[in-house]
Chains A and B, each alone.
Chain A
Amino acid sequence: MNSFAVRWGAFALLCFATFLSGCNRTAPPQSTSKPSNRVVLYCSVDEVYAKPLINELEQRTGLRIDALFDTEATKTAGLTNRIRAEKAFPRGDVFWSSALLQTLLLKRDGLLQPYASPSARDLLPAFKDKNGYWAGLGARKRVMAFHQSLQGKPMVYSLKDLQQPRFKNRFAISNPQFGTASDWVAALGVRLGPQRVQKLFIDLKRNGLKVLPGNSDVVRRVARGELLAGVTDMDDYEAQAKRTKTLFIEMGGTAQPDSEKVYVPGSVAMLKGAPHPEAARKLIDALIEARTELELAKRMQGVQPLRNTFTSWPDESEHWPAAWDKLREPLAEILLTP
C-alpha cells in the first residue's frame, strides 16, 4: 500500500509542480485574442433587487456579469475594503453602490478610473463626477418615520425637534459608521459644518438617542411602538409601511430645513486597473441609462430616478469625504460609547 501511495503521490506532486510553474505571471501578457465578454461587478445594492436587473442587463448587453454582493451584516464597507485589499491586483471591474460616500472615498484613494459614459449626459452635475469617475443611479431620501401615536400632535420637522422631552429615549438613527447613514452625516457636515453637527448629536444623545445597526431596524422598532421616531431611508420606510399601518412620515415641505433634506444617490464607477475594461464600459453604459434607472425605481420602492425627480440640486458631494473625515471619529465617540 505504501509504495502504491508513494507512486501515485509522486505523480500528483509532479503534476502540481508543473501546475505551479505555469502560474507565475509578473506582467499582464499582451493578448492578441478577442476580449472576453466577462465583467466582474462588485455590488452593494441588495441582491434581491439587483439580481433580476443584472440578469436583464446580461440579456440586453450580451455580457457575462459575474457579480459579487456584499453581506447584509457589513453593508458597503465590507465590499469597499475588499476593493482596497485588491488594490495592487484588481479583480473587479465595476462598483455599483447603493450609496455615494464610499465611492467618493474610493475615488480619493485613487481606486477608480474615469469613464465619462454617454448614458450619463442627461444627469444633473450634482449626480455625476465632473471628470467621469462616477455617475449616479437612483436616490433615496432620508426621512423621519413616526409612530402612529403621534398623529394629530404637533409635528417634528427637524432633528433639533427630537430634543423635546416627549422623545426622550424614544428615537433612533442607524449606525453612521455604515451605509446611507454615513452619507447622511457627511451631507449634514457639509451644510451645517462639523462643529454644529457634533453639537447636534451631543444634544440628541443627551435626550437618549439610540443608535441601531441598520435603517430597517430603526423603522421596525418605530412600527412596533418601541420608538416614537427614527431617521431612516425612504425604501426601508416603504418596505415596513407595506406590512404595518402604524407608521407615517411627514415630508416636511417648507417646514423642514433645506439643510436636512438629504438624498443619497446610488453610484456606479469603474475600478482602476479593471481587468475587463471594454466590458466594464459597456456595463456602465447599460447600468446608468434611463430605462435601467426606471426599472430599478420600479423594483425598489422608495428609490427615485434622478432624471425625473430633480430639476436642480446643490453640487456638494465632492466635499462629503472631507466632512466625513472630520466627523467619523468624534461621532463614534459621541454615539457609540455609553
Chain B
Amino acid sequence: MPISFRDHSARPLRTILQWVLALLVPALLWLPIISLYGAAISRLWREPQQWSQAVALDSVARTLLANTLALAALSCGFALIFGLPIGVALARGPGYFRRIGLVLCVLPLALPPTVLTTAYLQWTQTPPALAQSSLGATTSTTLAPVLIAALVLGLCFYPIVALVVRAGLISMPHQWEEAALQFGPLASTWRGILWPHLKPVIWGALGIVAALSIWEVGAPDLLGVPTYSMQIRRQLAARDALDASGADIKAALSSWPMFVLGALALWPALRARKYFGGVVQEAPHESGTQSTLDGRWCMWPSLLIFAICPVAPIAVFVSQLRPPQVLWETWTANSGEIINTVLSATVATLLSLLLSLLMVGLWRNQSTLRGCGLVFGGSLMLVAPVLLGIALIQFYNRPGWEWIYGGGDGSNSLQSLLMDWSSRYSLLIVGYLSRFLPMALWWFDEAADRVDDRLLEAAQNLGATPGRVTLTILLPYLTPVIVGGGALLWSLCAGELATSILVNAPGGQTLPVPIFNWMHIGAIEQVAALSLALFILNALALLSGQFLLAVLLKSRGTDNPHHD
C-alpha cells in the first residue's frame, strides 16, 4: 500500500525521535556556550556586586564598541561600492565578461581578511600594529586605521554583495523593466522596479558583511584598530586573570553586545535568504528586449576592482619571495600546518553538509520542528567566534573528553594513538561546525523549500522507497547547494582565525595562525609564502566548486536542476 508522503500522523515515538535527531547536533554545539554562561550566571548569583562590573559598558567598552560599529559600517560601504558594479556587470554584461568575471569575483573569498591585511602591510611596508585595547584605551582610535581596515574588509567581502546583486538581477524578469519604461522615465523605473527588487538583496548582503566585520579579529589587530572582539580575546589572556575560570566568565559576560550586534546585522540576511540558498532561477529573457541597466558600463570599474583584489595581493606575495626558494622552504617547514588546514576544513565541510542534509530531511514537512531547528541551529551564528573558542576549551577540558581535548594516556597502544590524532583536530572541527553549520542549514533549507512536495509524493505513490525518492528527486535539487555551498564552506573553514587561534591543539595548528603571528614579528617572506599556500588551497576549492556547478547545470541544460 503506497505510503503517503504527507503521512506524519505517525506514532508519537517516531515524532519524538525525529525531534531529538533533528535538534541533537545544534544542542551539542550549544552545550559549551550554555555551560559557560551557566557558570557566569552562577558566579554572579553568588557575587551580585560583580554584576555591574561584568555587564555594564564602561568607557573603554563603549569606545571599542564604537570602533567596531564604525568598522562594520565602513566595511559595508566599501563592499557596496565595489560589489554593486561587479554584480551588475556579472548579470547584464557581455557573455565573455560574465564567464571570466564570475571566476575573478570568487577569488577574493580565497583571501581571508588576515591574509589580505598582510598583503597590504607588505605592499605599504607598514609594520603591523598591535591593538591598543590591552592598554585600556579610553580614547577612540584615529579615522585612518579604521578606514584602512574597512577598505581591506570591503575588498575581502565585496563578492558577497556582487554575487547576490547578480542573483537578484538575473531573477528579475526583464518584462518588468520593459513595461515600466512604457509608462515612465528611466529614473522612476529604477526607483520603482529595480530598487524594490534589489533592496532586500543588498541589505541582506550588507548584513552578512557587517556581521563578519564585527567578528573579525586578525585584520583589525594587525592594522591597529581596537575592536570589541579583540578585547574579549585579550581579557582571556590578561595577566590580572590568574584565575582562568574567572577570565572565561568575564569574557562571556562582557560579550553580550556581540550577540545583539550579530542579530541586528544578520536580520536583513535572514529576510533575503532566498538569494543566498540554492540556485536562483534565471528569469526568461527574450533577445532584443530592452534593459534599463546595461552591464557594459560596469565592466571597467569591475576590472579595476579585480586588479586591486585579488590580483594585486597575489602579486605582492610573489614579490616578497626573496629569495624565491623561501617559498618551497617555508611550505616544507610548515607542511604540518598545510595538512592540518586541508584535513580539518575537509572533515568540517563534509560533516556540515551531511548534518545539514540529515536535519533538513528530518524536519521536512514539520513546520514546528523546522522552525525550531532553524532558530536553534541558525542562532549559533550569533556567538562571537572568540567567545566560541573560550567556551569550547572550558567545556571540553575535563575528564572524559580526551578524544576531543587532550589525547591518549601516553602509551603506544592503538587507542591512545588514535586519541592523540583525534584530539589534534576535534576541537577545531567542532569550532568550525559551530561557526559554519548554521550557514549550511539555511542554504539547504532554502533549497529544499523549493522542491514541490507533490513530486516527492507522486514518486512515493508510484512505489519509490524514501531512499530512492531522496536520491532521484530531492538530491538533484540540493546538489548545486552541496557543490557550491561545500566549496564556500571549505574556504571559510580553511581561512578561519578567530576561533582557531584559541582552540588549535598542539600539533594541530592551521595556516591562518602562523600567518597572523609571524606578521607581528615581521617575518615577511615566510608570511608571503604561507599566504600564497592558503590562497591556492582556497582558490582550488572555490574554482572546483564553481566548475562542478557549471558542469552540473549545463548537463541539465538549465539553471534549474530539473527540466520543467
**Chain A residues packing against B (C-beta within 8 Å):** 1-6, 8-10, 12-13, 19, 23-26, 28-29, 31, 33-36, 38, 40-42, 46-48, 51-52, 55, 66-69, 71-75, 77-78, 81-82, 84-86, 88-89, 91-92, 105, 109, 175, 177-178, 182, 211-214, 216-217, 220, 239, 275-277, 279, 328-329, 332, 336-338
Contact = CB atoms under 8 A, between A and B. Distances in A.
A145 B172 CA distance: 65
Contacts of B24: 13
Most buried by B among A12, A34, A328: A12
Contacts of A279: 410
A1 B398 contact: no
Nearest to A277: B410
A286 B507 CA distance: 19
Given A35-B411, A48-B526, A84-B244, A213 B237 contact: no
Contact of A3 (B236, B413, B456, B466): B466
Contacts of A34: 411-412
Given A71-B513, A73-B230, A1 B456 contact: yes
Contacts of A23: 400-403
Contacts of A178: 134, 239
A91 B416 contact: no
A211 to B, nearest CB: 6
B518 A86 contact: no
Contacts of A71: 501, 513, 516-517
Contacts of A85: 244-245, 248, 393-394, 397
A47 B334 CA distance: 11
B462 interface: no
Given A1-B361, A48-B526, A213 B134 contact: yes
Interface stretch (B125-133, B202-210, B295-303, B377-385): B125-133
Contact of A66 (B20, B401, B424): B424
Interface string B347-369: 00000000000100110110000
A29 B248 CA distance: 31
Given A2-B365, A67-B506, A78 B401 contact: no
Given A91-B406, A337-B136, A239 B333 contact: no
B411 A33 contact: yes
A6 B507 contact: no
Given A51-B334, A82-B244, 4 more contacts: A31-B411, A38-B408, A85-B393, A276-B410
Interface of B: 5, 8, 14, 17-18, 20-21, 24, 127, 129-132, 134-136, 138, 221, 230, 233-234, 236-245, 247-248, 333-334, 358, 361-362, 364-365, 393-394, 397-403, 405-413, 416-417, 420, 424, 456, 465-467, 469-470, 474, 501, 504-509, 513-514, 516-518, 520-523, 526
A contacts with B: majority SS: mixed
B241 A81 contact: yes
B65 to A, nearest CB: 19
Contacts of B526: 48
A25 B233 CA distance: 31
Contacts, number: 218
Contact of A6 (B5, B18, B333): B18
B131 A213 contact: yes
B238 A38 contact: no
A84 B456 CA distance: 56
A4 B470 contact: yes
Given A4-B466, A26-B399, A177 B239 contact: yes
Given A67-B507, A72-B517, A275-B410, A81 B399 contact: no
B5 to A, nearest CB: 8
A279 B420 CA distance: 15
B114 to A, nearest CB: 12
Contacts of B411: 31, 33-36
Nearest to A177: B239
Contacts of A41: 506
A91 B427 CA distance: 14
Contacts of B129: 213, 217
25 contacts: A2-B362, A10-B17, A31-B413, A33-B413, A38-B420, A46-B517, A46-B521, A47-B517, A48-B526, A68-B504, A68-B509, A71-B516, A77-B239, A78-B237, A89-B399, A177-B239, A213-B129, A214-B130, A275-B406, A275-B407, A276-B410, A328-B240, A329-B240, A332-B240, A338-B138
A84 B242 contact: yes
B333 A52 contact: yes
Contacts of A105: 242
A66 B241 contact: no
B147 to A, nearest CB: 21
Contacts of B403: 19, 23
Nearest to B243: A84
A106 B75 CA distance: 43
A315 to B, nearest CB: 25
